[in-house]
Amino acid sequence: SHQLGELWPYPLAAVLGHGSRVLVRLEDIESSEFLNFLLTGDPESVDWRESGIPWPLRARIAATHSVQLDQSTGLLNEKK
């Protein structure tokens, strides 16, 4: 998409470590597997159905902003 521009040439930690909001589009992976990978390095480390939300995420399980897809343009618009 034209929203992407140039591919980010730096490690993922450089994006996530600066405190800005980051939109991650996951394809063919569960969000729990992605978060497990970020937290522990192992996508299968926590069974969310059995154990619930991992401790580091329990304090804040929702973001303060959301996005909405504009069906006519394919662009994401931030909602506050």
What does the pLDDT profile of the chain (80 residues) look like in tens digits?
Answer: 455 566 667 777 777 776 667 777 888 889 899 888 888 889 999 999 998 888 777 765 555 567 788 889 888 787 76
Backbone dihedral angles phi then psi of residue 67, each to the nearest 5 degrees = -125, 155
How far apart are the C-alpha atoms of 78 and 52, rounded to whole Å? 29
The pTM of the whole model exceeds 0.85: no
**Residue 67: enclosing H or E segment and its boundaries?**
strand 66-69
